Chain A
Amino acid sequence: MSTVRIPPVLRPAVGGARELSVEGATVGEVLESIYSDHPEVRAQLVTDGGELHRFVNIYLNDEDVRMLDWLDTPVEDRDTLLILPAMAGGASASPAHP
């Protein structure tokens, strides 16, 4: 089982968990396993065409899977997968769109 770290914006879709333990031999299998338990995650991360959105980064340990074998990247027990969307927060209370 690998550990998948869930970013704050996706936690409501997985019942509030910060981490999940997930079966799967590849990055794609791990993600599919999460989708089947938590269909809302698929709705947020995957396009209508079945591709991962470009704004989602998936890291295997400290490496971006775009630099590895993408969804075919093998996942070992005790690996950590991190789902990382960009965050915008930082400054004031002004409306982003006036």
Chain B
Amino acid sequence: MARSYQELLAEAREVIPEITVAELAESVSADPGTLHIIDVREQSEWDEGYVPGSVHVPRGFLESRIAGVVGPDEPLVLVCAGGHRSLLAGQTLRNMGFSNVSSLVGGFTRWKQSGQDVAVPRTLSGDQRSRYSRHLLIPEVGEAGQLKLLDSKVLMIGAGGLGSPAAYYLAAAGVGTIGLVDDDVVDASNLQRQIIHTTDRVGMLKGESAKIAIEALNPDVQVNVHATRVTRENVLELIAGYDLIVDGADNFPTRYLLADASLMTGTPLVHASILRFEGHASVFMPHDGPCYRCLFPEPPPPALAPSCGEAGVLGVLCGVMGNIQANEAIKVLLGIGDTLAGRLLVYDALGMTFTELKVRRDPNCPACGPDATLEFRDYEAWCAGPHANPVGVST
């Protein structure tokens, strides 16, 4: 025999205890975290606000998702808009063996009317949902991850061979703030690999040129142009406020300076370097893994450290290595996967081989060892070496 909606509710009320707004509020403040609050409303209702501390499990997914949220013997209270859907949801959970289920009388509407605190979720806009839809489909990213990327600030050293692809892809991925440190202007000889720049922007400051490209690609991204070289005097100020550094520098003094500054500020450093057909990449997590100077305690003399300006570089190699940096940066920002921390990836584009080398923390490391004193050396002089001429032009 068919039963009416009212009869279903009445049956549910017989088995599911109801609690009032005042009781829920008291229970939450007396014993925070013990009582699980499950909100079974639809997405659009949840987006308008919810009881602080509650977890959103829409009614349509209740049976399939509840096990991942709360155990069958844990106390939980169900919340909907007015207190009816939550009663019926409660009966479903009782049938599934959940023993300690109650329902909020009057639902979220009464909670809000009673003047209780309301949390409003940060959500992506409709445009962002569409732009980042392929990220939202990945469980490891999803909406929470995408919001995290939008809140992230990455400092890109160099808007050149590595910086072009790295910054471009990070911008496409929705990294919300990208700082570009480069004091150079776009030259025609850059365009073989520095794909963020264009022929009609030759002569423009690289940071400004890259900013035009990034803003055209993704208006969500705030671009800060730092038209300066990295020096002992400005490195800490440059890094302040950024979550991560991507090192696309073209010279050893800058690389060693960044390595020290990364340790001083606790800012992760995503490393890559390139020459001809060969690329190196790694990730340096300050005091949690090896640092750049655990790997290379000292820079080679200029004779063994030619720049790309002297030795040349395959343009495509920059794309491969810069994108490996973007990939690692996103993983560090999201806290997912296994990064290159503790490993050096050596890519030989000519032989098409990827070789992984172990990088260990050096207990005697002059930068991150227990006896290390962190201070900025005069890297310009140090890298130039005792018998060296200036390094000359690079990349």
Contacts and interface: CB of A to CB of B under 8 A. Distances in A.
B184 A93 contact: yes
A82 B357 contact: yes
B370 interface: no
B360 A89 contact: no
Nearest to B271: A90
B280 interface: yes
Contact of B273 (A54, A57, A64, A86): A86
A62 B362 CA distance: 16
Interface in B236-250: 247-250
Central interface residue in A7, A55, A82, by most chain B CB within 10 Å: A55
B274 A87 contact: yes
Central interface residue in B182, B187, B275, B301, by most chain A CB within 10 Å: B275
A44 to B, nearest CB: 6
Interface class of chain A by DSSP: loop
Contacts of A67: 358, 360
A56 B275 CA distance: 17
Q: How large is the interface on B (under 10, 10 to 19, 20 to 34, 35 or more residues)?
A: 35 or more
Contacts of A97: 380, 384, 390-392
B316 interface: no
B304 A93 contact: no
A84 B355 CA distance: 12
Given A82-B355, A87-B273, A92-B184, A55 B394 contact: no
Nearest to A66: B362
Contacts of B255: 86, 88
A65 to B, nearest CB: 11
Contacts of B299: 55, 86, 88
A90 B384 CA distance: 18
B358 A92 contact: no
A91 B393 contact: no
Interface in B266-313: 272-278, 280, 295-301, 303-309, 311, 313
Contacts of A5: 355
A38 interface: no
Contacts of B348: 18
B162 A91 contact: yes
Contacts of B278: 7-8, 87
A92 B305 CA distance: 16
A36 interface: no
A89 B300 contact: no
B296 A90 contact: no
Contacts of B360: 64, 67
A76 B297 CA distance: 28
A85 interface: yes
Contact of A54 (B182, B274, B298, B309): B298
A10 to B, nearest CB: 8
Interface string A68-98: 0000000000000010111111111111111
A7 B278 CA distance: 8
Interface stretch (B97-105, B118-126, B130-138, B153-161): B153-161
Given A9-B275, A67-B360, A55 B250 contact: no
Interface string A25-42: 000000000000000000
B176 interface: no
Nearest to A80: B355
Given A57-B296, A90-B272, A96 B250 contact: yes
Contact of A8 (B183, B275, B351, B395): B275
Q: Which 10 A-B pairs have the closest CB atoms?
A: A91-B158, A91-B160, A96-B251, A97-B390, A92-B160, A92-B184, A86-B296, A87-B273, A94-B184, A91-B250
Interface of B: 157-163, 182-184, 187, 189-190, 194, 206, 229, 247-253, 255, 272-278, 280, 295-301, 303-309, 311, 313, 344, 346, 348, 350-351, 355-360, 362, 380, 384, 390-395
24 contacts: A8-B277, A9-B300, A9-B311, A18-B348, A18-B350, A53-B298, A54-B297, A63-B357, A82-B346, A82-B355, A85-B304, A87-B305, A89-B313, A90-B158, A90-B247, A91-B182, A91-B250, A92-B182, A92-B190, A92-B206, A93-B395, A94-B184, A94-B394, A97-B380
Given A92-B250, A93-B309, 13 more contacts: A9-B305, A44-B303, A64-B357, A67-B358, A84-B344, A88-B255, A89-B273, A90-B250, A91-B158, A91-B395, A92-B190, A93-B394, A97-B390
